[in-house]
């Protein structure tokens, strides 16, 4: 308890050895983290010092000027210009300093350096996916792989089951972010960066991590019942390792439409649809082809190619009974060939 109190009071000094980590803050793993923390601790210590001065003064006055007898009269004080000016000007100087330092760091964070490497980030209930450009190819790293949702149902799940964002060390990285469904927020505590990820618009966030390492990514905007699982990692790699990794991923990218199984994993379908018959946010796709499905309006539909196509492109059209119409439409996001490949894959998901 005593040491906790000490930590609370001396937060700025404690544990500074651990890469800039303090009682209130995780390690400083980006080039802007130290500036950001400086503003935080400036405000923190200003508050601590003024709190102590004011509470101390209140305590002192309560004791020193208490009524000592029935006839103890209060002296008539007509005010003091020096005091009035003092307690207006001194806080004003501190406020101006807070504003100025905050503005400087904010401007720094708002403008990505011109030589930034660009990565597209897509937020979706409930995963992140990352797209890189390499040699004219788009390299997309899926947020969640096919087996991941099984692990997510398991309380002993491992954070590694979400695909990480890989970036090179010592290189500014600019994330261009977008959501396909609801509001999410991309947050890397170790980098001191956070930005909302909004459907229908792009938001930008940048960072530069000087050293290789691993850092947590959280979604910090409540986005549905699996919001808490929407985590990922940033893996900062030496530039040469990153180049080798990206070239390797790019070599796997096939030109032309993606195979159905790949689309199923990369577009986040696994987040809601199981392929093993277990219940999810959406109906399982095991043995769905050829089946008769009961719809929310009481009618039935035979699951054929046309029904699957409609349900992928405009999921709200015929919703299966017992499920909420929460799937995002894929109209305009998948080519005709990709839709066909996806349907072919669903057909293989037998009984
Ligand atoms: Cu996405 Cu919370």
Q: Report pLDDT digits (tens) over 7-27.
A: 444 444 434 445 778 888 899
* Residue numbers in the chain where pLDDT is lower than 50: 1-17, 159
Burial string for 61-72 (b: 16+ CB within 10 Å, else e) reads: eeeeeeeeeeee
Name residue 187's beta-bridge partners.
194, 218
CB hemisphere CA count around 329 (13 angstroms): 8
Domains and CATH numbers, the chain: 2-16+113-251 (2.60.40.420), 33-64+80-110 (no CATH), 260-348 (1.10.760.10)
Strand 173-179 relative to strand 117-124, pairing: parallel
CB-CB neighbours of 112 under 10 Å: 19
In angstroms, what CA-CA distances link 273 with 201, 304, 349? Answer: 27, 17, 12
Local structure of 164: helix, strand or coil = coil
Burial string for 157-194 (b: 16+ CB within 10 Å, else e) reads: eeeebbbbbbbbbebbbbbbbbbbbbebbbbbbbbbbe
Work out which ligand 1 atom sits closest to the CA atom of 220: 2
> Which residue's CA is the nearest one to ligand 1's atom 1?
184
Work out which ligand 1 atom sits closest to the CA atom of 123: 1
From the CA of 154, how far away is ligand 1's center (Å)?
Answer: 19
From the CA of 335, how far away is ligand 1's center (Å)?
Answer: 27
From the CA of 287, how far away is ligand 1's center (Å)?
Answer: 31
Strand 137-141 relative to strand 231-237, pairing: unpaired
80, two tokens: 């003091």
Distance CA 18, CA 156 (A): 28
Q: Report pLDDT digits (tens) over 55-112.
A: 999 999 999 988 888 888 878 888 899 999 999 999 999 999 999 999 999 999 999 9
From the CA of 197, how far away is ligand 1's center (Å)?
Answer: 9
Q: What local confidence, expressed as pLDDT, does residue 154 receive?
A: 57
Work out which ligand 1 atom sits closest to the CA atom of 219: 2
Q: What local confidence, expressed as pLDDT, does residue 189 receive?
A: 93
Dmax over Cα atoms in the chain, in whole Å?
A: 97
Selection from 272, 189, 277 nearest residue 232 by Cα: 189
């Amino acid at each position: 308890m005593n040491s906790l109190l000490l930590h609370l009071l001396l937060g700025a000094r404690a544990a500074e050895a651990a890469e800039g980590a303090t009682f209130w803050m995780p390690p400083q793993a980006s080039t802007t983290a130290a500036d950001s923390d400086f503003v935080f601790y400036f405000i923190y210590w200003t508050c601590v010092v003024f709190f102590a001065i004011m509470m101390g003064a209140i305590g002192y006055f309560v004791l020193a000027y208490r009524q000592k007898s029935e006839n103890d009269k209060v002296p008539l004080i007509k005010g003091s210009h020096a005091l009035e000016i003092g307690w207006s000007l001194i806080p004003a100087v501190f406020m101006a300093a807070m504003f100025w330092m905050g503005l400087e760091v904010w401007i720094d964070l708002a403008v990505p350096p011109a030589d930034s490497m660009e990565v597209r980030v897509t937020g979706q209930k409930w995963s992140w996916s990352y797209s890189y450009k390499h040699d004219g190819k788009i390299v997309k790293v899926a947020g969640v792989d096919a087996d991941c949702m099984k692990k997510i149902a398991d309380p002993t799940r491992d954070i590694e089951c979400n695909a990480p964002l890989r970036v090179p060390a010592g290189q500014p990285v600019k994330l261009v972010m977008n959501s396909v469904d609801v509001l999410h927020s991309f947050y890397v505590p170790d980098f001191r960066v956070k930005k909302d990820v909004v459907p229908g618009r792009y938001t930008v966030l940048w960072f530069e991590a000087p050293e290789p390492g691993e850092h947590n990514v959280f979604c910090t905007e409540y986005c549905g019942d699996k919001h808490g699982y929407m985590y990922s990692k940033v893996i900062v790699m030496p530039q040469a390792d990153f180049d080798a990794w990206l070239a390797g991923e790019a070599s796997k990218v096939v030109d032309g439409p993606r195979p159905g199984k790949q689309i199923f994993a990369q577009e986040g379908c696994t987040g809601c649809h199981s392929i093993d018959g277990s219940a999810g946010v959406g109906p399982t796709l095991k043995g769905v082809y050829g089946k008769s499905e009961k719809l929310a309006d009481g009618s039935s539909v035979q699951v054929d190619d046309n029904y699957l196509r409609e349900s992928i492109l405009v999921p709200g059209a015929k919703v299966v009974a017992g499920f909420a119409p929460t799937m995002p439409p894929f109209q305009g996001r998948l080519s005709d060939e990709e839709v066909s490949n996806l349907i072919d894959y669903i057909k293989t998901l037998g009984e």
